[in-house]
Structure 1
Amino acid sequence: MPDFVGRFITLEGGEGAGKSTQLRALATVLRAHGIEVVETREPGGSEGAEAIRALLLTGGQDRWSPRAEALLFAAARADHVEKTIRPALARGAWVLSDRFLDSSRAYQGQGALTDADIVMLHRIGSNGFLPDRTLFLTLPETEAENRTRARDGDATDRIGGRDRDFHRTVADAFARFAAQEPERVRAIDASGAAADITDRLMAALADLLP
């Protein structure tokens, strides 16, 4: 039997919220508690899913139709869950993922597809598997744009490079998920010093710690 109960934690939010930075910081703190931590990301996180990531994030804005894009994300996630996440949880590790289902709901569940469509694809591909806790990093729009520009310059991927209205709709969707599922999704202020943000994230995980 594992010494610890495996936990699946996802970090969500719009471009520039600091998810990748905070995931690494959280992993460091959790390891200091003696917990095995697996750091992963979406799309990606397994051999098959990383191959799909390359297809999704490169090329022109019109490379994939909304339906094809949603199916590719669902396929990548199914492989990620099967090959990486579930085996790690089974041995008692904590899995930290930079994005998961809620990103698909926010980014692909608008326009041609609905939130219900994305959830149905997830039910088919990953048997409806959900995180134990989702940390939604919130940041004012202007600050998020400045961070993204400082990080990427003009080299955005085909999803990150979409217009301001698109990203505003994404932010609204994340906020809606947090309001609808307060036990699973916790909104965390991502402004200020990095160490302070990490403290806020750890506080939101305190009830799950061994």
Structure 2
Amino acid sequence: MGRGKFIVFEGLTHSGKSTQAHAIASWLEEECGVKVLRNQEPTKRILGRVAREVVMKRNPSPVLLYEATEYPSPYTRLTRFVELINEIIECLRKGQALSELQIQTLFLADRCDDVMNVIRPALRNGTWVIQDRFTLSTFAFGMAAYLSYEDIIKLHHESVALLRVKPDLAFFLDIRAEESLKRLKNNKGCECGKYEEHIDFLRRTAKAYGNLFAAPGCYEFSSNITQLNGDRKTQEEMTWHIKEDIESRFLDKI
């Protein structure tokens, strides 16, 4: 049994990432006979739940914070990284606001757990992982919050990069910040988190994605990146293009 493929969907909120991830996962399973795991970040595991509470501007419960401190760490050998996580949990216990660097550290801790306990085992088992958000999101949202590329790459190299897993293919669904906010407002049942409520932040995030793709080191985060214009294509058209890309790269070789 060969290694599974790791395919990631990136983009602004309401760019269609989740829609495409669901469509492609269903197609791979039902029509291509591929074993698939759908995954997302922040995850629904303990550290991901803490991160989600923070970005949704809620205080994590004492029980959740206790579980986070007791949770078996996948990065125990990374002494400084563990210290940072413990400092973050202590800040949350005291009701203190986190800095943007602390928030991104929390996301990376969730990703380490995700890679070690979900993504890597699935890939080794021949399962394809279809992922909603991964490393590019950390950089785009962190840079939009005025963190430097150097600060984020340092954290990345101290944590996730050591686990040596990167996507085989990433799709970036490119939409304007104005369209992202419009779709958010039209989705009446959707909560608005700290990263979605301001148009200026969304514009900075879109710009950060563009700067990342222009950077020579971008392929450190994904083996291949395909950019699709979500403003000009319907969801059905994007699904068709994504299927074509996956077929030509991977399925024709099975």
* TM, length-normalised to structure 1: 0.87
CA contact under 8 A between 1:26 and 1:202: conserved in structure 2? yes
Cα distance, 1:111 vs structure 2: 4.9
* In 1: Cα distance, 2:145 partner to 2:191 partner: 25
Once residues 188 and 13 of structure 2 are traced to their aligned partners in structure 1, the CA distance between those partners, rounded to angstroms, is 10
Structure with higher Rg: it is 2
1:25-65, Cα deviation, whole Å (9 max, x unpaired): 010111121111111111115x23333233332326x8321
Matched-pair contact (CA < 8 Å) for 1:178–1:187: no
Query: How big is the alpha-carbon RMSD for the aligned residues of Structure 1 and Structure 2?
Result: 2.3
Q: Counterparts of 2:114 and 2:139 in 1: how far apart (Å)?
A: 17
Alignment of 1:187-202 (within 5 A): 187-191=227-231, 192-202=233-243
Looking at structure 2, the residues matched to 48 and 116 of structure 1 have their Cα atoms a distance apart, in angstroms, of: 28
Question: How much identity, in percent, do the aligned residues show?
Answer: 28
1:172 counterpart = 2:172: no
Residues 11 and 98 of structure 1 are in contact (CA less than 8 Å); yes or no, is this contact kept in structure 2? Answer: yes
Matches within 5 A, 1:48-127: 48-59=46-57, 63-126=97-160, 127=162
CA–CA distance in structure 1, aligned partners of residues 178 and 52 of structure 2: 29
Q: Does 1:27 align with 2:63?
A: no
Question: CA offsets, 1:86-106, max 9 Å, x none?
Answer: 000000111111111111100
TM-score, scaled relative to structure 2: 0.73
Superposition deviation, residue 154 in structure 1: 7.4
CA distance in 2, matches of 1:20, 1:95: 14
Counterpart selection for 1:185 from 216, 222, 225: 225
Match in the other structure for 2:250: 208
SS in 2 for 1:35: coil
Gaps of at least 5 residues in structure 1 are none
Q: 1:175 to 1:36 in 2, by over 3 A?
A: same
Larger deviation, residues 11-20 vs 195-204: 195-204
Which structure 2 segments of 5+ residues have no match? 59-95
**CA–CA separation in structure 1 for the residues paired with 2:46 and 2:114:** 8
Is 20-29 or 116-125 further displaced after alignment?
Answer: 116-125
C-alpha contact 1:44 1:76 (8 A) present in aligned 2: yes
For the structure 1 residues 159 and 144, does the alpha-carbon distance in structure 2 shift closer, same or farther, using more than 3 Å as the test? closer
- 1:145 Cα offset (Å): 2.3
- Over 3 Å counting, the alpha-carbon distance change for 1:195 and 1:154 in structure 2 is closer
User: Does structure 1 conserve the Cα–Cα contact (< 8 Å) formed by 2:143 and 2:208?
Assistant: no
Cα 1:148–1:111 shift into 2, 3 Å: closer
- Which residue identity lines up with residue 187 of structure 1 in the other structure? Q
For residues 37 and 27 of structure 2, what CA distance do their matches in structure 1 show?
A: 13
| AA of the residue aligned to 1:176 | N
C-alpha displacement of 1:153: 6.3
CA contact (8 A) 2:35 2:128 kept: yes
Alignment partner of 2:19: what SS?
helix
Match of 1:109, SS? helix
